[in-house]
Structure 1
């Protein structure tokens, strides 16, 4: 190749270092970068940032009794920690929202979605570290 043996060794080392650098860059971008925010999160990611309320029993406006449990999906782990600390405020919000409803307001998918959205927006008003992404009704019994 070249007449000088030292130049050959330097070129081989330069090519080898370049290949190692490119390989390191490719591996870093493929394995160590966070996934993009596009698309739906996996169920494991949802469970990591979700919290469940205790069973709440209260009266409705129509003198019926409701027993319910909610699962709340939060924005991140800091929001989940804050949510668990604000447990008493969350229960208060849920009881207030339920006590303004009648039995007919909770029947059907539209009524339940409305309750979930109302609770989500009210809890977001008190949250400081993050936001509530979604509220799910886990149990709902009206007597």
Structure 2
């Protein structure tokens, strides 16, 4: 009887250790040491970004906007692809801005609306990689 009790205790301890080990592996893989959301350094961001030179176009309410952008992509190869698509980027910019009024672009919300819309449209162009963020580097409405 003592042997059965000892065997049962050993099995419970073994199962507990195994479960703790499996749980530890799962937690480690979930948290990971190499988090993809870790902020890249500035050199990497610049390597993966392109500049859209200053563009002047009219808005829907007959006002003019002058703006330039920096588009951050997820890889150097994606940045090279986007550079080749510069004419398509400018076309999208003119298309989106011609549908917006100066009132649509007011304040932080207006700029977020613009950058989110552009990010979505630019991602539609991409075959390899994706746009991570669109930065407005200069902006004036008259």
SS at match of 1:67: strand
1:89-117 deviation line (CA, Å, top 9, x unaligned): 00000111111111111110011011000
In structure 1, the residue matched to 2:69 is 70
Kindly report which structure 2 residues correspond to 1:16-55, keeping only aligned pairs within 5 A, or say none: 36-55=35-54
Q: Distance in 2 between matches of 1:36 and 1:62?
A: 45
Matched positions, count:
109
Kindly report which structure 2 residues correspond to 1:1-143, keeping only aligned pairs within 5 A, or say none: 36-143=35-142
Structure-2-length-normalised TM-score: 0.74
| CA deviation after TM superposition for structure 1 residue 36, in Å | 4.7
- The runs of 5 or more residues in structure 2 that have no matched partner are 1-33
RMSD, matched Cα: 1.0
Q: Distance in 2 between matches of 1:105 and 1:113?
A: 10
Q: Distance in 2 between matches of 1:92 and 1:37?
A: 32
Q: Distance in 1 between matches of 2:67 and 2:94?
A: 10
Question: Where has structure 1 moved over 4 Å in runs of 4 or more?
Answer: none
1:7-41 deviation line (CA, Å, top 9, x unaligned): xxxxxxxxxxxxxxxxxxxxxxxxxxxx6524211
| CA deviation after TM superposition for structure 1 residue 126, in Å | 1.1
Q: Distance in 2 between matches of 1:74 and 1:63?
A: 32
| CA deviation after TM superposition for structure 1 residue 81, in Å | 0.5
Q: Distance in 1 between matches of 2:124 and 2:60?
A: 24
